[in-house]
Chains A and B, each alone.
Chain A
């Protein structure tokens, strides 16, 4: 066979390989969605979607209301974002714009290491360091609180936020900086008024992925948040949607198990809303 024909064949086989990969990934998402919906629907039917989502009492097999878990997930995620995103963004600005390359390199390596630490280690750190600290600072009997979860989550989302923000800050063309500085703007003004807005879509991606990580985190949260199924308060124990599934799935049967899958459906919808938000925000930027 001629070299040219060989080339065409290799090309074609690669095309099908790519197509196959894409197909498998999409298929995996679809299967997971179908699976949790089939398993969770009996609970939604028996309890009622309204009662399930707005019920404030979780006491299987009598009461299945996941409002406490929704409030726990939302409060802990919002708190983690409120602390983690500004901190991550400022770190990224420092690494991309201000720090000398040697310093930036060392710091970046350390931050990347942070991403590789298993979540159970974060949970353990939270349990032995943050929980007792909260007990002392706020003078409360038990430090296993939503606040402990927020602090652990804020640390856990840092690598995602920093890495993605830094990459997009570095991708801003040099002419933007030079133009701004040439007009007499200070470095800080240039960073906040020119570079960050220009890198917005990448930073937003980092933030949304950070939120997704915070909302999906399970192990560390179970260890530090106390897991009491009641409406979340900052200095009280609370349970997240993921913790609810992980804590009870091992023994649950019947309607109880279905209710845990239904918790998964709610979580799934949360993640889909997040991704839609990301698509919407990034599209808006492009059309400007």
Chain B
């Protein structure tokens, strides 16, 4: 029995040593630490893997921590590059922190395939989400109730949607909070919104344009169809940039090379393949 305990302890010891080595190894090679928006993370991981293919000595570490955390990480220098899935105001960045736009992502306002409504204005969408319009006949549809589907309060997609649709309000002490009605259904992620809207005849939701398929219908907003071309031209307004922030003075060689590479044809081709809108 004692032997078993000893060997278990031994195993733990060896495991601990190995873990320690692993950590040290990562630090000694050229690593690029990236953190921020979970929406950008998916694209960044693919870009990172491709870049590592041609630069075997570089390790790209990507962590999805949310846009706000990404901006903070870039300002503090805890990550070399921060990611954000909403536009970052200059005031949010500290001295010496620059930003580039990696891609654009449209947010599609989606309804069930059986819905006869095909176009809405931003004011109408905003009123629906505030709970002021509750029946489809007020926006040109059939006489049926509207089931509003939204995302969780800290989601980047929800943040961008609230900014574009003027769905923000302020509390008495000046904190910005959401104006989306509390009775709206909250779905955990793009996929959950999609399933709910695809199944419910009366539902309206919003998802990343790349996630739209024929299980549901994307509405035109202010008469403009939600297509990559209309987003690139700026006609379709319900879109958001994927931005990267970095301290320009304090970047390693590998990180500089990576940032430059992301605006090349090769990288932007991946952006397109993943369903986002390239910036070149």
Contacts and interface: CB of A to CB of B under 8 A. Distances in A.
B203 interface: yes
Interface stretch (A32-40, A53-61, A105-113, A268-276): A53-61
Interface string B1-34: 1100100000000000000000000000000000
B1 A17 contact: yes
Contacts of B176: 61-62
A251 B185 contact: no
A68 B183 CA distance: 11
B185 A226 contact: yes
Given A141-B144, A247-B188, A14 B69 contact: no
B195 interface: yes
Interface stretch (A88-96, A166-174, A175-183, A228-236): A228-236
Nearest to B146: A141
A150 interface: no
A256 B147 contact: no
A131 B199 contact: yes
B177 A63 contact: yes
Given A61-B177, A132-B199, A142-B203, A251 B154 contact: yes
Nearest to B175: A62
B154 A256 contact: yes
Given A247-B152, A251-B154, A251-B156, A230 B185 contact: no
A256 B152 CA distance: 13
Interface in B163-219: 171, 175-178, 182-188, 192, 195-196, 199-200, 202-203
Contacts of B145: 141
A248 interface: yes
B186 A247 contact: yes
A10 B3 CA distance: 11
A256 B159 CA distance: 15
Given A62-B177, A251-B66, A230 B152 contact: no
Given A13-B2, A141-B200, A250 B66 contact: yes
A281 interface: no
A25 to B, nearest CB: 17
Given A141-B200, A253-B66, A61 B183 contact: no
Contacts of A230: 182-183
A227 B186 contact: yes
B153 to A, nearest CB: 5
A239 B144 contact: no
B188 A13 contact: no
A194 interface: no
A252 interface: yes
A248 B153 contact: yes
B38 interface: yes
B154 to A, nearest CB: 3
Nearest to A143: B200
A76 interface: no
A60 B1 contact: no
A242 interface: no
B155 interface: yes
A142 B177 contact: no
A151 interface: no
Given A62-B175, A248-B154, A239 B186 contact: yes
A216 interface: no
B68 interface: yes
Contacts of B65: 251
B153 A60 contact: yes
A58 B178 CA distance: 10
Closest 5 CB pairs of A and B: A251-B154, A62-B177, A227-B186, A251-B66, A62-B171
30 contacts: A13-B2, A13-B5, A17-B1, A59-B153, A59-B177, A60-B153, A61-B177, A62-B171, A62-B176, A62-B177, A128-B199, A132-B199, A141-B145, A141-B202, A142-B203, A222-B188, A226-B185, A227-B185, A227-B186, A227-B188, A228-B185, A247-B152, A248-B152, A250-B64, A250-B154, A251-B66, A251-B68, A251-B152, A251-B154, A253-B68
Interface of B: 1-2, 5, 38, 64-69, 72, 144-147, 152-156, 171, 175-178, 182-188, 192, 195-196, 199-200, 202-203
Interface of A: 9-10, 13-14, 17, 57-63, 68, 127-128, 131-132, 135, 141-142, 144, 222-223, 226-230, 236-237, 239, 246-248, 250-253, 256
Given A250-B154, A251-B152, A251-B154, 9 more contacts: A9-B2, A57-B182, A62-B175, A62-B176, A131-B199, A142-B202, A230-B182, A237-B185, A252-B66
